[in-house]
Structure 1
């Protein structure tokens, strides 16, 4: 069997496919031999209609395994000497037929004409199937095109071998593919012609027929090969074990391939870098923006800044010149993985400039799709490289080209053994991280001895988490719960968008072979109109639920057999409706990038060494859906405050190692469930009690990792308090919302005010009364322990809304608040406040979070003050009290030791914090 079925003599071909005359023997490795024998034996015993998942790592010799399997299945007979499969169809998900696979299949061909490569037209594929070609090699993209042309092939049995199954076997492409390969018989034809069925019966039969095309077909066996199975792949093709988990039928793991020397360990030499930067505002005004959108744009501004890219490029080029250029006998190459096409363009320009400045003999190529506009110029891949796009991969083989800058190209399926180093400036996760970094794992013995990765965007722990599920065998913890589909159906039905009659009417049109496209649009038009009447938040939720239903049904229909035709009707209805719904309108305030500049920028290496993976099975969880697709509340914030917060996170006046440690401390606090529960339902002072206990524990944990920071916190009381206050403010900012504060009720650190300036009783603006009361509370919070003031909430907790202040917008409200605070409490008081707007019960509430001030605050407002230079307020229980001059001096002496003011005698004078 080994000599007859596996050992082959093949003739070597050059790069253009021409035979060189050099011949050599192909002998199977153990995992190839074992895999093919086990698959063939099972197919012989069980016949058609099975599914197999083969998890074989890169370096397993997959092309040869597929070739051996295809040829042996093509001549396979069962115990009754009946042929098991009429045709073997080998599918690759690449748009251009994989040349290596194509060549390997041809070389194993012992009878001329057995193998048919379909790499041109769909007509070719149609002819090959109809004429009964034994082995057909093609791409997935051919199948949907011809599904309508050839229909069902009666009485045929197929073996479908899928290369990289996770990206090939989902949704409508698979349904069309199965529609082509599904069985037909005279009995079925007679059934269709017998009798005159009602239109409703015809519709139901058609729907059930469509459902069957997605399910498991008795005449089709699928052999799915992948190195990185996703949860859907495992459930669709995996073998269900007794414990309910899904596992591959055959395994050749990444660990085994590395240990046997067939691929390199791309995590063996991994360095991480982090950027530290500060921004500054370059306009006098302080405009307000939606906080989340502005932060995204400001971080994007930094990432795309010519100085930031230039710094990274200099690190890359110098590293390559010092550590990489002499590897692989002086032929080593590097790939630069960027976040976007615009990043790729700017990286290419910066790299060309740095290479020219330093006089290095290296050249760089770039790979991205389409046209990119930047600075009034248009850039394309071919224009920047100087030759057609189709030649990029081939040209990169030339010795002078040492860098390839990519944006969503060449990150998967690109086989270049001279790739030695990868420079990553893009967030990677899951399968994408494994596939991208695995571009380096190709061996080239004896010259290529290792690889290097310099990562500017990911943490080592993130990369470790991405790789571990695929290091050993990959399991799926359990099957997807089909009840999820009915839950989504129920949630969708709760929206006033469509009813059962709408779905039924659309189904009648959709399943009518004579129906035209315009009738589908007519059937959906009233539904789209009702969708437009929803609020923005409801539209977002409905669109998300609709997408969840389409994706989940397309998957589950391949795993389970549904007898409920209503599910299929809703699926085709939802799939077409989704295309007609207007997209989320999330306009970004791009002008914010014109109002800022970068003050400083530097990059620091944060780690280097091997990322060690654990030797245990990786377990993935099944498909899940969200209960709701809510829109995050939009917080309006001043540009100066947004910049200050970003500078705090990315550019504190601490060393980089201290910033990293503070980030780790925040992560530990954020993961504490007890602290989260306390923060959501308690006042600031009560949260502080729990927080102080938790933060002390977190501080003790850094004694080994960052003793310098630990010593500063514990030895310098003022510094320690500042750090704790910073961590508390950051924590509360992420964990508090207005509704939960209202439920807590007023207290020493929480007060409600109906309005900022408008008297509801007298229906007029009342600065001396209403505004003065607001300023008293803020001053008292700043002078005591801090607290939260909710403007737009009545004393009884009912929602009034800041709209009653009759200011034109939230932005103008915030500006007015900032102005009255400056006028009444002084310029520095505003630096201790963090106001933000939230929507509660359809009305706007302003949450003013106040930190404890480091210096006393005095209120002087429109002559209302009793003391010429300002009154002094503190919190006493759930209220605010004014201290007499003598009491104020005593309080200040105790609370703010060392505080003095020029010219002060008996009482306070007008001042700020």
Structure 2
């Protein structure tokens, strides 16, 4: 990598790297809903995952990031390469990509930025609020064109992706990348390296990262900067172990694999016939997962009934054992999908360096690659974690630092680790906890840098932010309302609004663009401050 950069074959993508810090707090809408013994225990790991996903998909979170992305693109990227510069937004999931696209189009439409258009790239269909979204209906201007070719035109400036195009995509006009996904290992290097292609007039790149720690990114790149050595080798024979493990599950039959692969490698057969060969395996997986989920639900209901009615200790132990067995059975199906993905990734890697004289490995690989996106883990409502009472109470997203992440020269070679274990994971037992306790843990982890001024209740948050200005508060305490409005107070409110624009952009823009609204809002905030001091309110809230 160092030699390629020095000789001008690629650019250093870590030179303009800006990382953001997200801080937030969660709360419950109704405190009585989580009080006393009525609160239900939930699977702690699943709850943390669901809450994290809930925050990531929250409209306010995506809306704030979209505003940062669009404004940064307009200010720093759009004019590069004679107005041909492109940008990529890397999201964590297909649903996230859909919501980014909807929020992106809404923002540029409201701001009148018609010259900035985004395409979204993800595989398959995704359901969202009763609607089905895919690349076709979300990119109507494509008109059947290849996405790579269309993105190279002036029709699109930004590409929103979910896994697709993160690797193996060569677009030299890419000048900026906005990362909202955890990147690790070689995926980190490959993803950010979409920016390193040279192009006439392209002298630098931009990375805005909402998720990853700069030091972690630097460490991943350092492994390949100068000399990388292999400490342990990958064992090609592991592919056979996983091959036999997958066959033993009974989700598919070997005759189905052969029929699919024969059709896949036959140029005379159309691609439309392929799903028919996979359908039986999909139906088996779906049926087993549904039955497993029903067993989990029934066993949990039995355990709750025994606990409620005061059953014997033996009955309770037996019920707990059944719950454990049922959850492990469903966990085996989850592992099947993970093992299928591991098989595809490992075989495609190791087959490039090892000559396997066994066509069955290749057959299973193409079958598994097409089966994976069709497997859906449908969870019954009884197993869902109810987040309807959870709300995002505080939010703060700020750029921490723009820096040149400097790779070290003459550093000791990194030892890369080969793959020595594959498909060896075991289904784990669920650990229970109260949702309110899990919220407290997340707030301790992510809420340490928020203040009352970061409340999403805009007026209350503004009042809290202004209350942090002690000299101004002395004026408010000791002067009548008319004198306060003629003093430093109005300018202090203006400054606080500008400072909090990254929290609630819409209200802040309304305040700054409409003087008559600003006067009313200043009065409302002053009333809240008076109320906090115990002074009589003047006028109506």
Shorter-chain TM-score: what band? Answer: 0.5 to 0.7
Counterparts in 2 of 1:624 and 1:285: CA distance versus 1, 3 Å: same
CA contact (8 A) 2:189 2:221 kept: yes
CA contact (8 A) 2:89 2:180 kept: yes
Distance in 1, matches of 2:130 and 2:13, equals 40
Three-state SS of the structure 2 residue aligned to 1:605 is: strand
Three-state SS of the structure 2 residue aligned to 1:268 is: coil
Distance in 1, matches of 2:119 and 2:216, equals 27
Task: Identify the match of residue 340 of structure 1 among 93, 108, 117.
Answer: 93
CA contact (8 A) 2:23 2:449 kept: no
Three-state SS of the structure 2 residue aligned to 1:356 is: helix
Counterparts of 1:330-729 in structure 2 under 5 Å? 330-368=83-121, 369-387=123-141, 388-399=143-154, 401-445=156-200, 447-480=201-234, 537=328, 589-615=383-409, 616=411, 617-625=413-421, 628-652=424-448
Partner of 2:70: 317
Distance in 1, matches of 2:117 and 2:20, equals 22
Three-state SS of the structure 1 residue aligned to 2:159 is: strand
CA contact (8 A) 1:367 1:409 kept: no
Could you report, residue by residue, the CA deviation over 1:605-637 in whole angstroms, capped at 9, with x for unpaired residues? 223211222345443212111695233331222
Deviation at 1:549, TM superposition (A): 8.7
Counterparts in 2 of 1:449 and 1:480: CA distance versus 1, 3 Å: closer
The yes-or-no answer on 1:258 pairing with 2:32 is no
Deviation at 1:577, TM superposition (A): 12
Distance in 2, matches of 1:637 and 1:370, equals 35
Counterparts in 2 of 1:554 and 1:536: CA distance versus 1, 3 Å: farther
Counterparts of 1:44-443 in structure 2 under 5 Å? 254-283=1-30, 284-286=32-34, 287-368=40-121, 369-387=123-141, 388-399=143-154, 401-443=156-198
Counterparts in 2 of 1:590 and 1:400: CA distance versus 1, 3 Å: same
Counterparts in 2 of 1:539 and 1:560: CA distance versus 1, 3 Å: farther
Counterparts in 2 of 1:586 and 1:607: CA distance versus 1, 3 Å: farther
Could you report, residue by residue, the CA deviation over 1:771-816 in whole angstroms, capped at 9, with x for unpaired residues? xxxxxxxxxxxxxxxxxxxxxxxxxxxxxxxxxxxxxxxxxxxxxx
Partner of 2:460: none
CA contact (8 A) 1:298 1:592 kept: no
Distance in 1, matches of 2:78 and 2:20, equals 21
Three-state SS of the structure 2 residue aligned to 1:401 is: coil
Three-state SS of the structure 1 residue aligned to 2:68 is: helix
Deviation at 1:476, TM superposition (A): 2.3
Deviation at 1:350, TM superposition (A): 1.6
CA contact (8 A) 1:365 1:392 kept: no
Deviation at 1:444, TM superposition (A): 2.2
Deviation at 1:264, TM superposition (A): 1.1
Partner of 1:890: none
Counterparts of 1:748-763 in structure 2 under 5 Å? none
Deviation at 1:594, TM superposition (A): 1.8
More contact order relative to length (CA 8 Å, sep ≥ 6): 2
Between structures 1 and 2, the one with greater strand share: 1
Three-state SS of the structure 2 residue aligned to 1:363 is: coil
CA contact (8 A) 2:339 2:423 kept: no
Partner of 1:238: none
CA contact (8 A) 1:352 1:363 kept: no
Distance in 2, matches of 1:373 and 1:573, equals 29
Could you report, residue by residue, the CA deviation over 1:373-411 in whole angstroms, capped at 9, with x for unpaired residues? 222223332323323353443333444633222222332
Could you report, residue by residue, the CA deviation over 1:515-573 in whole angstroms, capped at 9, with x for unpaired residues? xxx9xx9xxx9xxx9xx99865378579669868998799889878999xxx9999999
Counterparts in 2 of 1:485 and 1:599: CA distance versus 1, 3 Å: closer
Could you report, residue by residue, the CA deviation over 1:713-761 in whole angstroms, capped at 9, with x for unpaired residues? xxxxxxxxxxxxxxxxxxxxxxxxxxxxxxxxxxxxxxxxxxxxxxxxx
Could you report, residue by residue, the CA deviation over 1:336-388 in whole angstroms, capped at 9, with x for unpaired residues? 11112222222122222222333334322222233332222233323233233
Counterparts in 2 of 1:333 and 1:485: CA distance versus 1, 3 Å: closer
Counterparts in 2 of 1:327 and 1:556: CA distance versus 1, 3 Å: closer
Partner of 2:501: none
CA contact (8 A) 2:105 2:118 kept: no
Counterparts in 2 of 1:437 and 1:572: CA distance versus 1, 3 Å: closer
Counterparts in 2 of 1:331 and 1:586: CA distance versus 1, 3 Å: same
Aligned residues: 373
Three-state SS of the structure 1 residue aligned to 2:203 is: coil
Three-state SS of the structure 1 residue aligned to 2:420 is: coil
Counterparts in 2 of 1:475 and 1:584: CA distance versus 1, 3 Å: farther
Three-state SS of the structure 2 residue aligned to 1:366 is: strand
Counterparts in 2 of 1:270 and 1:597: CA distance versus 1, 3 Å: same
Which protein shows a greater Rg? 1
Between structures 1 and 2, the one with greater helix share: 2
CA contact (8 A) 1:482 1:556 kept: yes
CA contact (8 A) 1:541 1:628 kept: no
Counterparts in 2 of 1:550 and 1:401: CA distance versus 1, 3 Å: closer
Could you report, residue by residue, the CA deviation over 1:399-436 in whole angstroms, capped at 9, with x for unpaired residues? 46332222223323333332211111112222322222
Q: Provide the alpha-carbon RMSD of the alignment.
A: 4.7
Counterparts in 2 of 1:260 and 1:605: CA distance versus 1, 3 Å: same
User: Unaligned stretches of 5+ in structure 2?
Assistant: 35-39, 259-276, 293-321, 453-541
Three-state SS of the structure 1 residue aligned to 2:400 is: strand
Counterparts in 2 of 1:451 and 1:639: CA distance versus 1, 3 Å: same
TM-score, normalising length: structure 1: 0.35
Counterparts in 2 of 1:535 and 1:273: CA distance versus 1, 3 Å: same
Deviation at 1:334, TM superposition (A): 1.7
User: Unaligned stretches of 5+ in structure 1?
Assistant: 1-253, 511-517, 657-913
Counterparts of 1:833-844 in structure 2 under 5 Å? none
